[in-house]
Amino acid sequence: MTYAARPSVELLHGEARQVDPHAPFVIVMNAGSGRKRGEITADLLKHAFGRANRTYELLLVDDPSQLAATAQRAVELAVARGGAVVGAGGDGTLCAVAQAAIGSGCTFGVLPCGTFNYFSRDHGIPADTEQAIALLLTARAHPVQVGYVNDRMFLVNASLGLYPKMLEHREIYKRQFGRSRIVALCSAIAMLMRRHRHLRLHVDHEGTMQEIRTSTLFVANNRLQLEQVGAAEAPLLAQGLLVALAPRAIGRLAQIVLSLRGAISRMSDADNVTGFGFRRFTVTHPSKRRRRVKIAMDGEVMKMPMPLEFRVGETPLYLLKPEADVAALNRT
């Protein structure tokens, strides 16, 4: 099954916005990203904002269940003060804060503190905390694209099937061996060695219904992540589209080979992957039951009822980020 994208369809986000040089910041920091790192970040904020004579408020989240409520409170404070809201943590934390910020008129900033930091890296935001803080104080707000599954927003990716299981398995490994990319890789390899059931899904795209059998349906909104696995569809994101990837139903050995191709950026050479760009499509189960399925969104796993509608967000997120040429240099 192959769908052709529509190159002429572009998401018109608008122009970059200048930020008031005296605007205050409200910062939501996930304590789960590391207590010591949090203390270092808090100290850097105090010194950098003090030198710049900028006011800010730091809201620390110790309980992950309170993240969404804290993000909403931060946005309300930022809007009332005419300021910006900032997420400090991994992609899941950033997504929670961004979901509260989008459409509020509030500018959004990022201090990357996660393991992979795909969102910040894709937009050229420095991984170095001191440099990222300096960027908050000088950058303009640029409109960036977001994706949705039903009413839940994602910044980087959303998926169902094997990938959510891999994320849950990765969290078990992290609790035992710590947070690192090596731990994440070992966890993924161990998970791929297991036997997995394939999904049977009905996909409705542009009025055409197709049935697919796959281990994972993966929807991406991150050019860097797609380029890392060698997906040929990566340029479609610049056309206001999201990208869906679905490996065809294959055995464990073929699944491992396919994963290795992705690890060496050769996914585009594989014959077992269906990929397409889209603005909107719907996924249902052949039984038509409103069953609940596990969905992974920016590293966080939750259950959602089917049908699932994947779509490009109509409203952009205004992100404090480098200009295009500087962002390209910072991207790694």
Q: What pTM did the predictor assign? A: 0.82
Residue 239 DSSP symbol: G
Give the C-alpha separation, 174 to 90, whole Å: 14
∠144-116-199 over CA atoms, to 5°? 85
Positions in the chain whose pLDDT score sits under 50: 1-12, 173, 252-270
Cβ atoms of 128 and 102 within 8 Å: the answer is no
- Nearest one of 80, 31, 27 to 54, comparing CA atoms: 27
Query: 116-143, pLDDT tens digit by residue?
Result: 899 999 999 999 999 999 999 999 999 9
**CA 268 distance to own-chain centroid:** 22
- Residues near 216 by Cβ (< 8 Å), separated by ≥ 6? 159, 160, 161, 162, 163, 199, 246, 247
Q: What is the pLDDT of residue 4?
A: 36
Alpha helices in the chain (DSSP H): 35-51, 67-81, 91-101, 118-122, 129-138, 162-177, 181-192, 223-228, 252-263, 324-330
Q: Which residues of 87-118 are buried (b: 16+ CB within 10 A; e: fewer)?
A: bbbbbbbbbbbbbbbbebebbbbbbbbbbbbb
Which domains are seen in the chain, by residue range? 25-146+315-330 (3.40.50.10330), 152-159+197-312 (2.60.200.40)
Q: What is the pLDDT of residue 48?
A: 95
- Residues near 251 by Cβ (< 8 Å), separated by ≥ 6? none
- Nearest one of 318, 316, 319 to 148, comparing CA atoms: 316
Q: What is the pLDDT of residue 5?
A: 36
Give the C-alpha separation, 127 to 280, whole Å: 32
Pairing of strands 56-61, 25-30: parallel
